Structure 1
Amino acid sequence: MEQQDLNKRLLLALALSFFVFVGYSYLFPPQQQVAQTEQNVTNKPAPQAAASDTAAKSTPTSMDKAQNAPVTASGGKSLATITSKTFKMTIDEFGRIAQYELLEKKYENEEGHNLQILGAQEVKPLEIRFSDTKLNDEAFKTPYTNSGTATVDVTTSAQTLTLTQQLSSLTVTKKITVNPDGSYTVDVTTSAPAPYFITPGHRPMADHSMYMLVRGALIKGADDIITTIKDGDAKGDETFKNAKIASAFDRYVATMFYDFKKGMNVSILKVGDGDPLIFVEGGQNLHLGGYIGPKEYNILKNINPELTDAIEFGWFTFLSKPFFKVLLWIHGLIGNWGWAIILFTLLVKLVLFPLSYKGMMSMQKLKDLAPKMKELKAKYKDDPAKLNAQMMEMYKKNGANPMGGCLPMLLQIPVFFALYRVLLNADELQGAMWIPGWIDNLAGADPYYILPVLMGVTMWFQQKITPNNFTDPLQEKIFQWFPVIMAGMFIIMPFPSGLVLYWVVNNIFTIGQQYVINKAYAKHKAAAIAAHKKGKDS
Structure 2
Amino acid sequence: MEQQDLNKRLLLALALSFFVFVGYSYLFPPQKQVAQTEQNISNTQTPKAVTTQSTPKSTPVNMDKAQNAPKSASTGKALATVTSNTFKITIDEFGRIAQYELLEAKYKDAEGHNLQILGTNEVKPLEVRFSDAKINDEAFKTPYTLDGSASVDVSSNAQILILTQKLSTLTVTKKITVKPDGSYDIDVTTSSPAPYFITPGHRPMADSSRYMLVRGALVEGADGVITTIPDGDAKGTETFKNAKIASAFDRYVATMFYDFKKGMNVSILKVGNDDPLIFVEGGQNLHLGGYIGPKEYNILKNINPELTNTIEFGWFTFLSRPFFKVLLWIHGLIGNWGWAIILFTLLVKLTLFPLSYKGMMSMQKLKDLAPKMKDLKAKYKGDPAKLNAQMMELYKKNGANPMGGCLPMILQIPVFFALYRVLLNADELQGATWISGWISNLAGADPYYILPVLMGVTMWFQQRITPNNFTDPLQEKIFKWFPVLMAGMFIIMPFPSGLVLYWVVNNIFTIGQQYVINKAYARHKEAAIAAHHKKEKES
> So what's the TM-score if we normalise by structure 1?
0.96
Mapping of residues 436-515 of structure 1, within 5 Å: 436-515=436-515
Write the letter of the residue equivalent to 2:525: K
Corresponding residue of 1:206: 206
Structure 2 CA distance for aligned equivalents of residues 296 and 240 of structure 1: 26
Aligned mates of 2:9, 2:171 — CA distance in 1: 68
In structure 2, the residue matched to 1:146 is 146
Shift of 1:49: 5.2
1:362 and 2:362 aligned: yes
Residues 1:65 and 2:29 are matched in the alignment: no
Q: Deviations over 1:354-396 (max 9, x none)?
A: 0000000000001111112222233333433333222222111
Query: What is the rounded CA distance, in whole Å, between the counterparts of 1:67 and 1:143 in structure 2?
Result: 22
The equivalent of 1:276 in structure 2 is 276
Alignment of 1:166-315 (within 5 A): 166-315=166-315
Deviation at 1:112, TM superposition (A): 1.5
Q: Kindly indicate whether residue 333 of structure 2 is the aligned counterpart of residue 342 of structure 1.
A: no
Taking structure 1 as reference, are residues 455 and 48 closer, same or farther at Cα in structure 2, changes over 3 Å only? closer
Q: Would the aligned equivalents of 1:93 and 1:145 in 2 still touch at CA under 8 Å?
A: yes
3-state secondary structure, aligned to 2:177: strand
2:38 aligns with 46
The one-letter code of the counterpart of 2:315 is W
Q: Is the 8 A contact 1:234 1:274 kept in 2?
A: yes
**Structure 2 portions without partners, runs of 5+:** none
* 2:69 alignment partner AA: P
User: Could you say what secondary structure the match of 1:470 adopts?
Assistant: coil
Query: Secondary structure of 2:101's partner?
Result: strand
Displacement of 1:63: 3.1
Question: SS of the residue aligned with 1:240?
Answer: strand
Residue 329 of structure 1 is matched in structure 2 by 329
In the alignment, the residues of structure 2 paired with residue 46 and residue 325 of structure 1 have an alpha-carbon distance, to the nearest angstrom, of 43
Contact kept, 8 Å, 2:42 with 2:69, in 1: the verdict is no
Supply the RMSD in Å over aligned alpha carbons: 1.3
Pair 414,396 (structure 1): closer, same or farther in 2 beyond 3 Å: same
Partner of 1:531: 531
Q: Which 4+ residue blocks in structure 1 deviate beyond 6 angstroms?
A: none
Match of 2:47 among 47, 56, 63: 56
Structure 2 CA distance, aligned partners of 1:383 and 1:467?
30
Deviations 1:58-88 (A, max 9, x none): 2254532265342424153100011001001
* Distance apart, 1:397 and its partner CA: 1.4
SS at match of 1:241: strand
* Equivalent-residue separation in structure 1 for 2:50 and 2:15 (angstroms): 45
Structure 1 residue 47: Cα displacement: 1.3
Q: Distance in 1 between matches of 2:46 and 2:288?
A: 23
SS at match of 1:315: helix
Cα-to-partner distance string for 1:262-313 (whole Å, 9 max, x where unaligned): 1111111111121110000101111110000000000001111111111111
- Structure 1 residues 183, 49: closer, same or farther in 2, change over 3 A? closer
8 Å Cα contact 2:76/2:94 also seen in 1: no
Distance, in Å, in 1 between the alignment partners of 2:378 and 2:150 is 87
Q: In 2 relative to 1, CA 504–530 (structure 1 residues): closer, same or farther, beyond 3 Å?
A: same
For 1:236, the aligned partner's letter is G
CA distance in 2 between counterparts of 1:35 and 1:290 reads 25
Equivalent residue of 2:198, what SS?
A: strand
1:181 is paired with a residue whose SS is coil
Residues 60 and 241, structure 1, Cα contact 8 Å, conserved in 2:
no
2-structure distance, mates of 1:48, 1:487: 44
Q: Distance in 2 between matches of 1:437 and 1:281?
A: 51
Query: Equivalents in 2 of 1:226, 1:161: separation in Å?
Result: 32
Question: Which whole-Å deviations, capped at 9, do the CAs of 1:440-492 have from their partners, x for residues lacking one?
Answer: 00000000000000000000010110111011101100110000000000000
Q: Describe the shift of the 1:514–1:228 C-alpha distance in structure 2 as closer, same or farther (beyond 3 A).
A: same
CA contact (8 A) 1:142 1:165 kept: yes
Cα shift at 1:57: 1.9
Deviations 1:106-153 (A, max 9, x none): 001122210000011110000000000010010000000111111111
Contact 1:458 1:508 in 2 (8 A): yes
CA contact (8 A) 1:345 1:502 kept: yes
In 1, Cα distance between equivalents of 2:139 and 2:38: 19
Corresponding residue pairs, total: 529
Whether the 8 Å CA contact 1:58–1:66 is kept in 2: the answer is: no
Q: How far apart, CA to CA, are the structure 2 residues paired with 1:49 and 1:92?
A: 18
User: Which residue is 1:373 aligned to?
Assistant: 373
Q: Which residue of 2 aligns with 1:389?
A: 389
Contact preservation (8 Å) 2:46, 2:131: no
SS of the aligned residue for 2:525 comes to helix
1:241/1:265 contact within 8 Å kept: yes
Distance in 2 between residues matched to 1:322 and 1:73, nearest whole Å: 40
Separation in 1, partners of 2:59, 2:443: 45
Structure 2 CA distance for partners of 1:457 and 1:316, relative to 1, 3 Å = same
Q: What is the percentage of aligned positions where both structures have the same residue?
A: 83
Q: Residue 38 of structure 2 aligns to a residue in which SS? A: coil
SS at match of 2:203: coil
Measure the CA separation in 2 of the matches of 1:346 and 1:252: 27
Contact 2:40–2:272, Cα closer than 8 Å, also in 1: no
